[in-house]
Chain A
C-alpha cells in the first residue's frame, strides 16, 4: 500500500462515541397508566415531549404522564442540542467506518489535512469555488479550537451552498433552460430550483411538489419536472425512477429486468401512477375504451385557446403574418406547459410490445408497500408512498448521493441504479443504513445532512490516492477520493480569481416577472388580462430570449455584469443551463442535461487549449483582474510570488518554486504576475480537489 505512511494520525473515535446518549434509537416509553409506546425522542420544552413514531409521524406527549425514568431520559436528551446531535452523528459515522477499517487491518483514517488544504477543499465542496486570500486569512487568524466546524457552518449558511448544490441537481434532474424550443418558458422551473435550494426546503417536500404538481408553469413552476420529457411518457417514468428511486427501469420498457425480479408488466404498472397525468395538448389513450382521446390545454376550458386566438386576431395580431402567428403560438405553448390529472386518459402498453401491447395497466408499486389512498390522485398516492418514512430506499438514495458529493465516491453504485439488496452490495452497509436513518431524522434537510458529513474525521483527512480504490471490491473510505473539479467549480474558481468573492452576490436579476406572464387562470382571468400578458411576453421574446435566460434579467446589458466572449461573468448556476457549447464550462465536461448525471471529468486537448489560450484565461492573465491588481500592491518580489501561489493553490511555494517565480518577475517585472498566474492555472494541482 503506497500511502501507508499517511495512516498515522487519527485515533479511532470509539470512546467519544460511547459517551453520547443513544437518543437516536427508538425507545419504549411508558406512561403512568402503564401504556407503552415505541418512539424516537425529538424535542422537549420542559412540559411536552415531541417524539417520532415508527410510521414517521411526530406526536406530542405531556411529560407529566410519563413514568419517572422516562422523564429523566427526556431531560437528559434535551440537553443535547442541535449541534451536539450533529457532532454525535458525525462521530457515529466515524465509528462505523473505523470499525470496518479495523476489521480490514487498517488502523486509522488518512492523515488529517492541514488547514490550508482543508479550507480549499470545503470551499470547493460546499460553495463550489476556491477561497479568496482574504477568506483564507480570516480563517487562519481565528484562534478558536472549533474553527473548522465554524467554517463548515458559515459556508453552509451562505448562498454559495445553494449555488453549488444547484449545479449538482441540474445535472441529476437534467435542468435545461437553453437550447430547447421553450427555453424562456422553463425559466420559472429553474428559478423554482434555485429558490427551493436557497430556502433549504426539505428534499422530500421538493420531491412531493414535483411529483404531485398541477397547473401551468407560471402558477406552479414545479410542473417543469413532469414537463421535462413531455411526449415521452415512458422515458419520463424511467428518469423518475433513476433520480427518485435509484432504480433504472428503462430496460424493462422493452424486456424483463435482467438482474432484479421485475417483469415488463411491473414496469408499466409502476408507470401507470402517471397514467392520468396530462402533460400537454394532444392525443392520449382513453380510459375505459380501446380508443384514444384528444385533449386541449390541460386545466383549460375546451374552447379557451380558439377563443383567445379570435380575441388576439381582433386586437391586432395578424395571424397570417408568420412572425406574429409564431410568437402567438409560442405563448400558447407556454400556457400549455401545464399539467392536470385527467381521469379520461390512461396509460397503455405500446403496441410494439408482444403479448402485452395495447393493454391498459393499473398502478402498482415496484417494491415495498402498496400505495393506496382512495381520496388521493394517483400521483398523490405515489408521492405519499415514495416519501413515507417506511420507504427506506428513498432516504438511502439521496443520502448515498450526498455522500458521493462529499467523498467523491458513493457507498453503493451506480447511484442511478443501485441494487435492491444494497446492504449486501456495499462494503459499508451499517454506514449507509445509518445515513438513511439520519436523512429521515433531519427530515430531509440537506443542509443539516451535509453538515454531518463535513463534520466527520473521515472527510477531513487527505484524499486517498493509491490503488485501494480501483482494486478493492469495496472502498473503505479512509478518506475522500482525489477528484478533478467539476466544470462549475473550475468556472466559479476562475471567476473568483478574476473578480473576487463578489461573484457570490451578483445574480443578474430573477425570472419572477416572466413567471407572472405565464401565470394564467383560465377560469377567472379575462381575455383582456391574458392578452396584456401576451403583449409583455412578446416584447420579452423580441429582446431576445438568450439574454434573458443567460442572466434571468432584461438588464443583461447592464455594464455591472461583465461579459467575456459573449458569456456573462456570473456564477455557473446563474447563467444559461447548460452553458453555451463554446464556453469553458462545456469543454470541462458540464452536463448537456440530456441524460441524468452526464457530467464528465475527463481531460481533452480542446479543454487544455481553452485553459492555455481561451478568453477566460485571457481575462484573468491579460486584462484587469483582481489577482493581478491585488498582488501588484504587495511589497517586494518575494511576497508577490508567495501571494500568487497562495491565492491560486492555497499554499506557499517551496524554495525552488520561489526561485523560479522570482526569475519570472525579474524578466517581466510586475507583469510577470500574469505569467505566474498562467503557470499555476495550467498545473494539474489547480484543477484537483485534494
Chain B
C-alpha cells in the first residue's frame, strides 16, 4: 500500500494515521497487517454518516438478562388486573409514567426516550438475547459480532492501550466473524477489574522475569523474523507489561472512586460506574449486563429486589454523564430479552412475552422526555408504531453515525449491514 498516497488524502489526518499505526492495545492482533487496518478505515470513510445521526461517540448498552417486565417499569397500565400490586408514578415530564420503583428515572424523565412498541419474534432467552445483542437471528453457520466489534471494524481502532469495547459482568466475549482481536474485553466482575492483571510476585521480581524472557525470546524471534505471529507476541507482552504499569489500568480500579456508593454497591451499579469511567477514557462501546430479570415467580417481590438498584444505577449514570458534559456524546440504551405477560400466573409471576415490550434511550443525540409507540391497553400487543429488533439496532447505528447501507464482509464473503436492514427511529433524535 502506498503510504504517501494515503497521507495526501485530506481526510487522512496525521492523528488518524497515528491512531492506525498505533494499533497497539488490548486485544489488537498484530497479525492484522497494517494494510488491511488502513483499508478498513478508508472503506468507512467512503461510507456516509446518516444525516442527523452520529452525535454518539460512545455507547453504554445496559442489558437486563432474562426479560424485563415492561408493565412494572416503563409501560404501566391503568388496568388493575394487569398491574397487580404495582403502583404507578408520574415522571417529571407530562405524560410519562413509570413503575413506582423507578423514582430516580422518573425524576430524570426529561433525559429519557422510552419506546413502548418494541417487538421481537424470539421467546426463548438465548435466541432473544443473541438477536438483541447483534441485530441478527442466531444461525448455526455463522456468529455475528456484537455492536462493539462491528463499530471497531467500521470506524477503525480508536484507543491506544484501552480496548474499543468492554463487556461488564460477563466472563466471555467474541468478535463473531470479525478478527478475534476485536473481541470486547470481558470484565467478569467490575469490583475486580481485568482478569489476571495483578502480579503474583513482587514488582521487582516480575520486572526481572520479564526482562529475561524478552532477552531469551529474542533468538527465537530473530530466527522466525519473517513470521508475524511470534513477533506479535513480543508486542503483546510489551502492551501487557505497559498496561500493568499504566494509568489506564487504574480506570478499572473502583476501590478509590469517591462516588461509588452513589451508583449502588452491586454488580449493575459498579458496572455502570466503570462504564462511565471507560467512556471518559475514550472507550467506544460498553455492554453492562444485569441478571435476574426472569420473573416467573412473584413479580412484585422480584421487582423490589431488582428495580431499586437498577433505578439508582441508571439515574446516577445519566446525571453524572450530563454533569461531566458527556451525555450529548454518549448514548445510553436499556434493553432486554423480551417483555413479560400481562397475565399474572399462579405463582404471582409473569412469563415471557416477545410481542411487545419496552426499551429506553438517553443521550447521544436522543431527545429526552418522550414516549415513542405504544402497546394495547393490556400491554399484550403493539398498538402503534412497532419497532423491530432490527429497527432498534438501526437506531443505535444511526446514533453512532454508522452508514446503515454499508456492508462489511465475513471471511466467507457474506455481506452484513449494521442493524440487518432495520429502519432507524429518527424521531427519537432532536
Q: Are B196 and A595 in contact (CB under 8 A)?
A: no
Inside 8 A of B196's CB, which chain A residues have their CB? Answer: 606, 609-610, 612-614
Q: Are A580 and B180 in contact (CB under 8 A)?
A: no
* Proximity bits, B171-201, A CB within 8 Å = 1, else 0: 1101000011101011010000011111110
Chain A CB count within 10 A is highest, among B183, B209, B414, for B209
| A678→B229 CA distance, assembly (Å) | 21
Inside 8 A of A135's CB, which chain B residues have their CB? Answer: none
Q: Does B31 contact A (CB under 8 A)?
A: yes
Q: Does B215 contact A (CB under 8 A)?
A: yes
Q: Does A341 contact B (CB under 8 A)?
A: no
Which of these binds chain B: A145-153, A212-220, A451-459, A596-604? A596-604
Q: Does A83 contact B (CB under 8 A)?
A: no
Which residues of A637-682 have CB atoms within 8 Å of chain B's CB atoms?
654, 657, 660, 664, 667-668, 675, 678-680, 682
Inside 8 A of B29's CB, which chain A residues have their CB? Answer: 602-604
- Taking A239-B140, A614-B196, A683-B216 as contacts, is the C-beta distance between A605 and B180 under 8 angstroms? no
Minimum CB–CB distance from B199 to chain A (whole Å) comes to 6
Q: Does B141 contact A (CB under 8 A)?
A: yes
Q: Are B171 and A605 in contact (CB under 8 A)?
A: no
Q: Are B186 and A581 in contact (CB under 8 A)?
A: yes
Q: Are B185 and A606 in contact (CB under 8 A)?
A: yes
Q: Are B229 and A322 in contact (CB under 8 A)?
A: no
Q: Are A605 and B239 in contact (CB under 8 A)?
A: yes
| A497→B250 CA distance, assembly (Å) | 34
| A679→B414 CA distance, assembly (Å) | 43
Inside 8 A of B172's CB, which chain A residues have their CB? Answer: 581-582, 586
Q: Are B186 and A232 in contact (CB under 8 A)?
A: no
| A251→B141 CA distance, assembly (Å) | 10
| A228→B195 CA distance, assembly (Å) | 32
Q: Are B412 and A680 in contact (CB under 8 A)?
A: no
Inside 8 A of A482's CB, which chain B residues have their CB? Answer: 224, 227, 229-230
Q: Are A600 and B180 in contact (CB under 8 A)?
A: yes
Inside 8 A of B232's CB, which chain A residues have their CB? Answer: 602-603
- Taking A465-B223, A601-B229 as contacts, is the C-beta distance between A660 and B216 under 8 angstroms? yes
Inside 8 A of B179's CB, which chain A residues have their CB? Answer: 602
Q: Are B412 and A417 in contact (CB under 8 A)?
A: yes
Q: Are A609 and B195 in contact (CB under 8 A)?
A: yes
- Taking A589-B180, A613-B199, A675-B205 as contacts, is the C-beta distance between A603 and B236 under 8 angstroms? yes
Inside 8 A of B240's CB, which chain A residues have their CB? Answer: 605, 608-609, 612
Closest to A678 in B: B209
Closest to A250 in B: B141
Q: Does B234 contact A (CB under 8 A)?
A: yes
| A610→B197 CA distance, assembly (Å) | 8
| A609→B180 CA distance, assembly (Å) | 16
* Proximity bits, B284-300, A CB within 8 Å = 1, else 0: 00000000000011000
Q: Are B143 and A613 in contact (CB under 8 A)?
A: no
Which residues of B142-165 have CB atoms within 8 Å of chain A's CB atoms?
142-143
| A685→B214 CA distance, assembly (Å) | 11
Minimum CB–CB distance from A235 to chain B (whole Å) comes to 4
Residue from A417, A598, A610 in contact with B195 in the complex, judged by beta carbons closer than 8 Å: A610
Q: Are A613 and B198 in contact (CB under 8 A)?
A: yes
| A654→B244 CA distance, assembly (Å) | 31
Inside 8 A of B143's CB, which chain A residues have their CB? Answer: 592, 594-595, 598
Chain A CB count within 10 A is highest, among B196, B213, B297, for B196
Closest to A230 in B: B140
Q: Does A466 contact B (CB under 8 A)?
A: yes
Q: Are A580 and B171 in contact (CB under 8 A)?
A: yes
* Proximity bits, A466-480, B CB within 8 Å = 1, else 0: 110000000000000
| A229→B210 CA distance, assembly (Å) | 46
Q: Does B217 contact A (CB under 8 A)?
A: yes
Q: Are B200 and A622 in contact (CB under 8 A)?
A: yes
Q: Are A679 and B216 in contact (CB under 8 A)?
A: yes
Chain B interface residue count, Cβ-Cβ cutoff 8 angstroms: 65
Q: Does B88 contact A (CB under 8 A)?
A: no
Q: Does A618 contact B (CB under 8 A)?
A: yes
Inside 8 A of B174's CB, which chain A residues have their CB? Answer: 592
Q: Does B409 contact A (CB under 8 A)?
A: no
Q: Does A2 contact B (CB under 8 A)?
A: yes
Inside 8 A of A174's CB, which chain B residues have their CB? Answer: 140
| A684→B223 CA distance, assembly (Å) | 12
Chain B CB count within 10 A is highest, among A181, A684, A687, A688, for A684
| A155→B171 CA distance, assembly (Å) | 36
Closest to B215 in A: A660
Q: Are B230 and A684 in contact (CB under 8 A)?
A: yes
Inside 8 A of B237's CB, which chain A residues have their CB? Answer: 608, 682
Closest to B206 in A: A612
Q: Are A229 and B140 in contact (CB under 8 A)?
A: yes
Residue from A467, A602, A664 in contact with B181 in the complex, judged by beta carbons closer than 8 Å: A602
Q: Are A484 and B229 in contact (CB under 8 A)?
A: yes
Minimum CB–CB distance from A517 to chain B (whole Å) comes to 25
Q: Does A171 contact B (CB under 8 A)?
A: no
Residue from A586, A605, A664 in contact with B27 in the complex, judged by beta carbons closer than 8 Å: A605
Residue from B139, B140, B185, B220 in contact with A684 in the complex, judged by beta carbons closer than 8 Å: B220
Inside 8 A of B215's CB, which chain A residues have their CB? Answer: 660
Q: Does A381 contact B (CB under 8 A)?
A: no
Q: Are A618 and B216 in contact (CB under 8 A)?
A: no
Q: Does B212 contact A (CB under 8 A)?
A: yes
| A613→B195 CA distance, assembly (Å) | 9
Q: Are A608 and B297 in contact (CB under 8 A)?
A: no
| A683→B211 CA distance, assembly (Å) | 11
- Taking A604-B181, A608-B240, A609-B197 as contacts, is the C-beta distance between A683 and B217 under 8 angstroms? yes
Inside 8 A of B82's CB, which chain A residues have their CB? Answer: none
Q: Does A389 contact B (CB under 8 A)?
A: no
Inside 8 A of A609's CB, which chain B residues have their CB? Answer: 194-197, 240, 243-244
Q: Does A236 contact B (CB under 8 A)?
A: yes
Residue from A181, A589, A613, A683 in contact with B200 in the complex, judged by beta carbons closer than 8 Å: A613
Residue from A228, A322, A603 in contact with B233 in the complex, judged by beta carbons closer than 8 Å: A603
Q: Does A31 contact B (CB under 8 A)?
A: no
Closest to B30 in A: A603
Closest to A664 in B: B212
| A660→B212 CA distance, assembly (Å) | 8
Q: Are B205 and A604 in contact (CB under 8 A)?
A: no
| A473→B325 CA distance, assembly (Å) | 54
Q: Does A438 contact B (CB under 8 A)?
A: no
* Proximity bits, B402-423, A CB within 8 Å = 1, else 0: 0000000000111000000000
Inside 8 A of A660's CB, which chain B residues have their CB? Answer: 212, 215-216
Minimum CB–CB distance from A603 to chain B (whole Å) comes to 5
| A622→B180 CA distance, assembly (Å) | 31
Chain B CB count within 10 A is highest, among A248, A617, A679, for A679
| A592→B179 CA distance, assembly (Å) | 15
Q: Does A437 contact B (CB under 8 A)?
A: no
| A89→B288 CA distance, assembly (Å) | 57
| A688→B232 CA distance, assembly (Å) | 12
| A688→B229 CA distance, assembly (Å) | 9
Q: Are B236 and A232 in contact (CB under 8 A)?
A: no
Closest to A232 in B: B140
Q: Are A679 and B195 in contact (CB under 8 A)?
A: no
Minimum CB–CB distance from B283 to chain A (whole Å) comes to 15
Q: Does A50 contact B (CB under 8 A)?
A: no
Q: Are A604 and B297 in contact (CB under 8 A)?
A: no
Residue from A2, A242, A600, A608 in contact with B236 in the complex, judged by beta carbons closer than 8 Å: A608
Q: Are B197 and A235 in contact (CB under 8 A)?
A: no
Closest to A600 in B: B180
Q: Does A501 contact B (CB under 8 A)?
A: no
Minimum CB–CB distance from A143 to chain B (whole Å) comes to 31
- Taking A236-B140, A482-B227, A606-B27 as contacts, is the C-beta distance between A679 and B197 under 8 angstroms? no
Q: Could you list 13 examples of A-B contacts with CB < 8 Å?
A: A465-B224, A594-B143, A602-B29, A603-B229, A604-B180, A613-B198, A660-B215, A682-B209, A682-B237, A683-B213, A684-B217, A685-B216, A685-B219
Since A604-B27, A685-B220 are in contact, a sample of 4 more A-B pairs with Cβ atoms closer than 8 Å, ordered by chain A residue number, is A251-B414, A608-B236, A684-B234, A685-B216
Leading 5 A-B pairs by shortest Cβ distance: A581-B172, A235-B140, A683-B217, A685-B220, A609-B196
